Structure 1
């Protein structure tokens, strides 16, 4: 490598740290008129640089040396700066990516590659956190069912097995089972008038409940709903051994069991961020396979953010032509990783229809998230004529380091944009919900805008936060006119304008969710401290992930019990509709890391949502998890090893 970049911690305090940055020229040629481009997950105090000047947009930084500075061969450039941050504990806190440009490239940048070394932390490295697992049980279902009775004997699953023609409520589950069994048996399983796998519709069974009976000659899957049949299939699939009992005949010996089961929470979700890093359709479908296997019933698809717009909108082709891509020569500057090249992608409407159908067969509802009024930089950069108010002089900086990512509630174009986008989203997604984000609108926004001042005066608003409520109320009412219920992060309640029909997702803390539930909102609990799977899984510096909400090892995930400290007779419990895990993807840009962050913690989230707290046991879960690892190995999932 011709150039190397080092970052070293000089000193650390509770809320302020000082760093040294060194760029090495390892070539035999001088570097003239250069600029260093790098990404860093914290906001650098540019006025503290000892040498050079810095511009920063989000994580993307451009550092230029003093005028006419030349980096001689086999020499280095050195500067120091401050960051308002607590002490770093992870290598992932360091520089993410870098390249060099030269003055001759001002019109079109041709990046020169730079090797980024691991940050030199000003702290000792902790030992790796392990979770020793006891021996696996004979049957290892996750989530733990309400009742499981082991019977004597086995059912032999072979190419001669057939499925009885299914009730219409089981049609999707039947297709899913056929696909899974074809992979195992290497040929399609026939559907006949009379087979030895039978879906039985029992109208009296509650939503999501199922009964599974495996006998020596027959398998019965009983449910009263599409969801119940999907759950029965997920349990059946987990009972199929990883290896056939007779390799030549591809015969699998399933233990004879009787399972009676139903979910604890009606909503059991998982959110995937596809805006920060784009995840292709096959990756999404493989995730859906695992979500269904472990009885999640909702896929929350985070499709838009500052760093990328991922959903095709016919009314505004610019959103994907411009907003889906970032890079050194794009309208949207690079962020996070892969910064030296054009990076991005988006889902066509047909892609999304395929995912929705695929998820539906597996009992999963797909809920889109179109984030407003914050996290809108990709949209604003794509449609400046529609979404930029040139008279707005407000000064703000979002937590991610953007000064231009908030929609204006006083622009007519904002409402035109929302109407057209939400109309297409409502038509595309059959789910009864649309998530509109509403989080992380920074202080200072809309404070120096004549149009916003006029809007406040017109409606008698006294706090700029009320403008957020004004805009969200418009979105809520428009979605309602399309037969949809609005969902939002807990900040959707800011400005006190949305109705109690809006479903709130609590992410900042358990207490925030409790407050919203006690205020009368239906709530999905998603506190980062227990459910954000982008958080590091241990305490050693080489653990992948972030730690702004703390470290999140497997046992801490499993320990979560929503509103456990609240008396059981408190009506707020009735407002808790379920739980949700999440994977934010600022640092997740490949399949290996994607899986490493998810597994095995995803299985713990699954049990939190499905199994009643009084029926959960950490030692028992660990044993069952050990039994599940053979499946994760078989399908090639790169999970974090427990020991």
Structure 2
């Protein structure tokens, strides 16, 4: 590599770090009129640079030398700068990618590769976290069922297995079971009257509840609802050993059991960010398989953000023509990783329909998220004639360091855009819910817009945050007219304009969820300190992930008990509908890293969602987790090892 970039911590205090950046020219060629382009996870105080000038947009930084001097062969460029943040502890907090550019400003950029070395954190090494697992149990279901009785004997699953004609409520579960068994046995599993796996309708079982009985010659899956049959199927699939007892005959010996079970929370979800990095459909299907296997029932699909717009909208083809792509020569600048080339992708409406049908068979509802009024930079850059107020001189910097990512509540185009997009989203997604984001509108937005000030005066608003409520109330009315219930992050309640019918997701901390629940909102608990899977899983510097909220090892995840400080009879508990995991994907750009961040913590969250707190046991969970690892290995999942 001809060029190398080093970053070193040279001093730090409680809320400030000072860095040295060195760019080495290891080639025999001088570079004239050069600029260094790189991504960095914090806001750099540009005025502190000791040499050169810096422009930063989001994570994307452009550094130019102060004197336009060439970068001579076998020489280096050196500068220092300050970041106003707590000291870094992770290698992922360093510079992620970089390239050189020597093209004149405004012309086509031709990136020159730069090797980025691991950041020197100026800290002692920490051993990787180890969580020893006890011996696996004979049966290792996750989440733990309400009642499981082990019976003597086994059922032989082989090529002679068939399914009896299912009740209508089990049609999706049957297709899922056929797909899984067909993959396992390498042949199609038929449906006929003489089958030895039967789905039976029991109307007295509550929604989501099921009974599973495995006998030597027959398996009975009993439920009174579609979701109950899915949960029975999930338990049956987990009972199948990872390896057959007889390799030649491909026979799997399923232990005889009697299980009676039902969920503790009605909502059990996972959110995946597909805006920061694009995840192909095959990856999503693989994830949905495992969400169903561990009895999650909701996939929250984060489809739009500042960095990309990922879903086809017929009314606005530029949302995906422009907004789905970023790169050094695109309208939307590079961010995070893969910065030297055009990067992106989007989901066609047909792909969405196919994924919805796939998830439906597995009892997983897909809830789309279209983020408004913040986190809208990709949409604004795609549709400037519709969404830009040229007279708005408001100054702000969002949490992710953008100054141009907020929709204007005073533009007619904003409401036309929201109405048209939500109409297509409602038509495409059968789920009764639509999530519209509502988070992280920074202070300063709308404050220097004459049109926004006029709108506030017209409606008697005193606080600019009421303008967010103004937009959200419009969106909620659109959704309600189409039979949908609005969802939003906890900031949706800002401005006090939306109805209590809006379902709130609490992400900043548990206290925020408690406040919303006490105000009368139904709440999904997703506190970053327990459920954010982008947080690092250990304490050593080489652990992938972030730690802005916390470091989140497996035992901390498993320890979460929503509102455990409240009296068990406090009525606010009834406002908590469930728990959700989240994977934000600023740095999740491969299948390997995707799996590493999710597993095995997803299994712990599955148990938080399903099993009553009094029936959870950390030591018992670890033993059952150990028993699940053979399946994860067989499935080729790159999970984080516990030991």
TM-score normalised by L of structure 1: 1.00
Structure 2's unaligned 5+ residue stretches are: none
Residues in 1 aligned to 2:635 and 2:469: alpha-carbon distance in whole angstroms: 46
Aligned to 2:568: 568
Deviations 1:522-579 (A, max 9, x none): 0000000000000000000000000001100000000000000011111110000000
Aligned to 2:266: 266
Residues in 1 aligned to 2:384 and 2:67: alpha-carbon distance in whole angstroms: 33
SS in 2 for 1:513: helix
Aligned to 1:367: 367
- Residues 538 and 552 in structure 1, CA contact (< 8 A), matched pair in contact too: yes
Residue 74 of structure 1: how far off its partner (Å): 0.4
SS in 1 for 2:595: helix
- Residues 394 and 444 in structure 2, CA contact (< 8 A), matched pair in contact too: yes
Deviations 1:107-165 (A, max 9, x none): 10110000000000021121111100000000000000000000010000111111000
- Residues 97 and 116 in structure 2, CA contact (< 8 A), matched pair in contact too: yes
Residue 84 of structure 1: how far off its partner (Å): 0.9
Is 1:307 matched up with 2:307? yes
Aligned to 1:327: 327
Matches of residues 396-475 of structure 1 in structure 2 within 5 Å? 396-475=396-475
Residues in 2 aligned to 1:106 and 1:366: alpha-carbon distance in whole angstroms: 42
The structure 1 segments of at least 4 consecutive aligned residues displaced by more than 4 Å after TM superposition are none
Residues in 1 aligned to 2:97 and 2:84: alpha-carbon distance in whole angstroms: 21
Aligned to 2:519: 519
Aligned to 1:282: 282
SS in 1 for 2:66: coil
Residues in 2 aligned to 1:546 and 1:503: alpha-carbon distance in whole angstroms: 28
Residue 104 of structure 1: how far off its partner (Å): 4.1
- Residues 19 and 82 in structure 2, CA contact (< 8 A), matched pair in contact too: yes
SS in 1 for 2:579: strand
- Residues 103 and 109 in structure 2, CA contact (< 8 A), matched pair in contact too: no
- Residues 313 and 319 in structure 1, CA contact (< 8 A), matched pair in contact too: yes
Matches of residues 33-72 of structure 1 in structure 2 within 5 Å? 33-72=33-72
Aligned to 1:490: 490
Aligned to 2:349: 349
Residues in 1 aligned to 2:351 and 2:476: alpha-carbon distance in whole angstroms: 27
Aligned to 2:26: 26
Aligned to 1:382: 382
- Residues 439 and 491 in structure 2, CA contact (< 8 A), matched pair in contact too: yes
- Residues 136 and 624 in structure 2, CA contact (< 8 A), matched pair in contact too: yes
Residues in 2 aligned to 1:234 and 1:259: alpha-carbon distance in whole angstroms: 12
| Count of paired positions | 643
SS in 2 for 1:192: coil
Residues in 2 aligned to 1:245 and 1:92: alpha-carbon distance in whole angstroms: 44
Deviations 1:364-401 (A, max 9, x none): 00000000000000000000000000000000000100
- Residues 133 and 642 in structure 1, CA contact (< 8 A), matched pair in contact too: yes
Matches of residues 150-161 of structure 1 in structure 2 within 5 Å? 150-161=150-161
- Residues 165 and 194 in structure 1, CA contact (< 8 A), matched pair in contact too: no
Deviations 1:152-201 (A, max 9, x none): 10000111111000011000000000000000111101001231100001
Aligned to 2:74: 74
TM-score normalised by L of structure 2: 1.00
Aligned to 1:588: 588
Residues in 1 aligned to 2:68 and 2:460: alpha-carbon distance in whole angstroms: 55
Residue 15 of structure 1: how far off its partner (Å): 1.3
Give the aligned CA root-mean-square deviation in angstroms.
Answer: 0.6
Residue 67 of structure 1: how far off its partner (Å): 3.3
Aligned to 1:214: 214
- Residues 18 and 81 in structure 2, CA contact (< 8 A), matched pair in contact too: yes
Residue 406 of structure 1: how far off its partner (Å): 0.3
SS in 1 for 2:369: strand
Residue 592 of structure 1: how far off its partner (Å): 0.4
